[in-house]
Chain A
Amino acid sequence: MKPIAEGLFRMTEAGPRLIGGRRKRDGKIVFPLPAGAEAAQFDPVELKDRGTLWSFTVQRFRPKSPPYAGDDDERSFRPFALGYVELPGEVIVETRIETDDFAALRIGQPMALTLQPFGKGGDTVTYAFKPA
């Protein structure tokens, strides 16, 4: 299993955790952890793996490549839900949403972090949230 990007999430004994950044100046939390010159302003922080759905939409057509790197094509593309999940007291993160029942999604519903295979063949995974 290979993360789609280094430093995006890590495995813990209790499951995967997204890695955010806590700004040293004021404690504000952002996601993802900033890289490059900006990184010095932040401390890495493991984010909660549970939250509530803040908003959502459905991607109905295959996004343009690049930048999209799914291993599907126009024909095999399947619409996917995405949106924002509020991690209480931390930050609201954007995420793919793992569900086939788009009509059942509701703002405020409980969500839990998961990993899902993503494109690029092999065993690459990205993060997602699913209804909890």
Chain B
Amino acid sequence: MTDVHIVGAGIHPFGRHDDLTGLDQGVFALREALADAAIGWEDVQFAFGGSSAAGNADALLPRLGLTGVQFINVANGCATGGSALLAGYWAIKSGEFDLGIVVGFDKHPRGAFNPEPAAWGLPEWYGETGLMLTTQFFGNKIARYMGLHGITPMTLARVAEKAFENGARTPHSWRKQPVDAATILSAQMVSDPLTKFMFCSPAEGGAALILASERKMRALGLAGPRIRGAAVRTRMEGSFEVFAPSLDIVRGPSPTQIASKAAYEMAGVAPDDIDVAQIQDTESGAEIMHMAENGLCADGAQEAMLRDGETRLGGRLPINTDGGCLACGEPIGASGLRQVYENVQQLRGRAAGRQVETARIGYTQVYGAPGLSAVTILEA
């Protein structure tokens, strides 16, 4: 079976763009990806695209040209982009197609997401009594992890400090002002132990990738990272997810742990082989926990790793080199593809100002509601 390569990548800067729709930003990213690969829209054989809050992804078609292309809308919560990528991977791996595109974009209102109990199959009292906030879930999850594994609030602050430091070096980031750890730590508390600088915000943006079979890539005279592993997994019994009025006493693996394991096995690589990683950092605690859930360190080792700068640019294992969700914000449909875009740039040596030298294996993991995770492993 053929290998699948990413031969083009485009992004619309993340952040707030009052004069642009989400769709505009998706079109921008898609055109940038086409230009990057020097192919035309009419060359594209298939597309998978998704948006969570900015309309049907196939509304892109009239803007690009009605070529009759197979376009499939993808809606898979926070793993929408990752799922589109996986679908594109299979489309080529199967031998059915040679060249296609995956795209994600979004535009969310300001402020935290505002859920309705009924939409989540939950009783009204749960929302009425003030228990239905995503921020509480993150506070609860990291508070337990810190208690069990000896992580301190300073380590949470260091994660955010690193994010803003990297964001300041990244053209597509939103937050470009460095913020020091002391300021982050003493900022307004949102949901203990997490302060306002430790949370990402809903945002806007778009990202697109061109996928090609190895044969097609060569025929077009292109080059690009190979997808060695890709997996999407959902929650199992005993995982801790958002909006849970009760949890099982017998704890189970997280969706990230099983997606990660599947992707490593598929790729035939081990966590030690990873040179650069983009992992879900909805808030500082998520990055800490996901370091371990993705096998990148043991539980509790994050304390020393952050203190010693191991995950900063220039460190042993740079994580979230573009500032992650903390510095880019989180447009749900685009977020997972933004991570892959960043790794593609890193593996092609095009991440000016934040380049991880000699990066060969790149890892991405996007996680979110209602309890699913998507992992990819790329090789330069």
Using CB atoms and an 8 Å cutoff, list the residues of chain A in contact with chain B. Answer: 4-5, 8, 20, 28-32, 35, 54-61, 63-64, 66-70, 80, 82-84, 86, 89-94, 96, 102, 106-107, 118-120, 126
Contacts and interface: CB of A to CB of B under 8 A. Distances in A.
A59 B136 contact: yes
A69 to B, nearest CB: 4
Nearest to B132: A67
CB-CB nearest 3 A-B residue pairs: A67-B127, A57-B139, A55-B144
Chain B, interface size category, equals 35 or more
Interface in B112-134: 112, 114-117, 123-133
Contacts of A120: 128
A61 B190 contact: yes
B352 to A, nearest CB: 39
5 contacts: A54-B247, A59-B136, A70-B129, A83-B143, A118-B129
Contacts of A83: 140, 143
Given A60-B189, A102-B192, A67 B124 contact: yes
Contacts of B191: 57-60
Contacts of B148: 107
B133 A55 contact: no
Contact of A58 (B117, B129, B192, B248): B192
A89 B193 CA distance: 29
A30 B147 contact: no
B245 interface: yes
Contact of A35 (B117, B123, B147, B190): B123
Nearest to A30: B246
A60 B192 contact: yes
A20 B190 CA distance: 31
A118 B130 CA distance: 10
A18 to B, nearest CB: 10
A54 B128 contact: no
B66 interface: no
A67 B192 contact: no
A90 B250 CA distance: 10
B127 to A, nearest CB: 3
Contacts of A119: 128-129
Contacts of B244: 94
A32 B123 contact: yes
B140 A63 contact: no
Contacts of B348: none
B94 interface: no
B123 A82 contact: no
A57 B130 contact: no
Contacts of A102: 192
Contacts of B245: 31-32, 93-94
Given A4-B128, A61-B190, A102-B192, A67 B140 contact: no
Nearest to B237: A28
Contact of B247 (A61, A68, A69, A84): A84
Given A32-B246, A94-B245, 9 more contacts: A31-B245, A54-B144, A55-B141, A57-B191, A60-B192, A66-B116, A67-B124, A69-B127, A93-B246
B249 interface: yes
B147 A107 contact: yes
A5 B114 CA distance: 22
Contacts of B147: 55, 106-107
B140 A56 contact: yes
A83 B126 CA distance: 13
Contacts of B116: 66-67
Contacts of B183: none
A86 B191 CA distance: 21
A19 to B, nearest CB: 12
Contact of B248 (A28, A69, A70, A106): A28
Given A60-B192, A96-B131, A5 B247 contact: no
A40 to B, nearest CB: 16
